[in-house]
Amino acid sequence: MSVADFPVGRSESITLDVTDDLIDRFAALSGDFNPLHMDDEAARALGFTQRVAHGALAVAFLSTLVGTKLPGPGALWSNLRLEWLKPVFPGDSVHIEGTVTAVSESARSISVRVEGTNTNQTRVLRAELVIGLGAHATISGNGATNEAPLPTNHPETAAAADRPVYVTGGSRGIGSAVSRALARIGHPIVVGYRENAAAADGVVQSIRDGGGTAVKLQHDVSVDPDSAEDLLRSISEQVGDVVAVVHGASPPLVRAPFPSTTAENFDRYWRAYVLGGAGIVQGISPAMAAHGWGRVVFLGTSALLSAPPPQLSAYVTAKMALWGLTRSLAVELGHHGATVNMVSPGLTRTDLTRETSPRSFLLEAQRNPMRRIGEPEDVAALVCFLMSDDASFINGVNLPVTGGMVMP
C-alpha cells in the first residue's frame, strides 16, 4: 500500500442500516446500556421520538470505511476529530463518505474528511481523520533515489572529491542513507558492513549509477577494532586517503531489565561503539593530520538528551561513553582542522526499530511537533552539513534530530 494510491480528492463511501438488533449487539459489545439507547420510553422522557443509537456506533461505521475502502486493509488511525450533528435512530440508513484532503509521504499517512447523512439526506456527523498506511515506507528495493548529484564543477563537490568517507554500518538504515547523501555531494564512500554483502553491493551500485565513487569494506568493528588502519590502507588506491568517518554500526538492540543485563551485553555495545569508534579514528588520524582536514561523526541517541527508555542500560551506557569520546577527540584533533561531533536521532524508521509496532510509530508521530517520526534521510542531511566547510567551526557538540521532541 502506497500513499500514491490515494491522491487528494479521492473519495469512497459506504451505506449501513441502523437496526434495533444492531444497537442491542453494540450495547452488549461495549457494555453501554444507557437507557437512552435501550428504551423508547426513556428516550421520549428526554425529548426524543424513540431510542437513539450510540454515538460510538458512528465511530464503528468510520472504522468500516477506513478498514475496507479508504485506505483499506493495513490502515491504522493516528488521529480522529469527530462531531455529531444529529441523532441517529433505528430505521435510519447512514451514508458515510470520505475524501482525501492531504497526503504525507514522510509519515506514510493520509488525511480524510468524512461526512455522514441519514435517510433524509440530513448531515448527522462530520469528522477529520489521519490514517497511517502500515509500518514501512514504500521505497524501491535497492533504495534508489531521484535526487541528482551536484554538478562536478560545484565548489563543494570539488572539495568533497578529495575527502573519502568511511561509513560504518553503511549498508542499511541510516548508514545507507548517509552513504548515498554524501556521495551525491561528491565524497568517495567506503560502505562498511558486517555480514550482508548483498546490501552493501546495492548501496555501492546505486552510488556508482549516480556517477559517484564507492567501494564496500567488510569490517566488524566490535570484533577487531584495531584493524581499521590496515583495512582502510588496503583500499586507499581505490578511493584515496580516508579522512572522515561516520560511525553508526550497531549490534541489534537487546532489551533486558537491569538485574538480568549481563556483562556480555555491556561488552557487546562497548566494543561496537567505543572501542570500534576509537580504533577507526586512530586509523584515519595520520591522514587527517597530513591533509589538514578531517571529520568524525558518531551516531548517538536522543536517549542521551532526555530520560532514557527502560531495559536498555547497556546500550545507553555505551552511547554515553561514546559521547565522552566525542568530546575528548574534539579537543585533541581540532588543531588538525578536524571536527568531531555526535548526531543523536530520535525514533527513526530503521532496522533497529523494525520490532516497533505500527501503532507505536503512529502514536509517536502524533506526539511529535512535526507530526511524523524520523527518516534516515533526516539524519543524513545533518551529516552532510557537518562534512561541509560551512561546519568547520562546529566541534564537540551533540546535535539531536528529533523534530523537536528533544530540546536540549
- For the chain, the distance separating the N- and C-terminal CA atoms, rounded to the nearest angstrom, is 37
How far, in Å, are 64, 83, 115 from residue 90 at the CA level? 19, 20, 19
- Is-catalytic flag, 193? no
- What's the gap between Cα 93 and its chain centre? 42
C-alpha cell, 65: 470505511
What b/e string do you get for 299-326 counting C-beta neighbours within 10 Å, with b at 16 or more?
bbbbbbbbebeeebbbbbbbbbbbbebb
Rounded-to-integer distance, Cα 256 and Cα 56, Å: 40
Supply angle C-alpha 349, 355, 356, rounded to 5: 60
Mark residue 404 as left, alpha or beta (left: phi above 0; alpha: psi -120 to 50; beta: remaining).
Answer: left
Rounded-to-integer distance, Cα 298 and Cα 328, Å: 13
Which one from 166, 269, 273, 315 is the annotated catalytic residue?
315
Are the C-beta atoms of residues 320 and 336 closer than 8 Å to each other?
A: no
**Residues belonging to the active site:** 315
